[in-house]
Amino acid sequence: MNVPVHRSRQVALDRCLLLLEEAQVRGQARIDGELGAALRKNLEHAGVIADHRLEGRRIDRVLDDIFALQASLLGQEPEDSRHHNGA
């Protein structure tokens, strides 16, 4: 993969993380329609097509998925945040 494409995919995934973290700060536990649409848009920019509905999913689970996508993009093993927070 060329560097500009790789970088644009990484930026799109970073935007997803930011959206999810902002939603958590607002006290949101699950993805609503507005957040789901914004995430899908950024995932498409990252070259990822959501294979299932995002709406209604727990934000912490989707964060794990985004971290796994980032790790894959970087050629690393994904970490599961549930191991770190005792869930």
Q: Which two tokens stand for residue 41?
A: 């848009």
Tally of domains within the chain: 1
Question: 34 CB contacts (<8 Å, ≥6 apart)?
Answer: none
Q: H helices then E strands: how many in the chain?
A: 4, 0
8 Å CB contact between 17 and 68? no
The pLDDT of residue 30 is 97
Q: Regarding predicted confidence, which is higher, 87 or 55?
A: 55
Position 76 scores a pLDDT of 76
Q: What is the pTM of this model?
A: 0.80
Tell whether the model's pLDDT for residue 87 goes beyond 50: no
In whole angstroms, give the CA distance from residue 24 to residue 36.
14
What is the reported pLDDT for 5?
A: 77
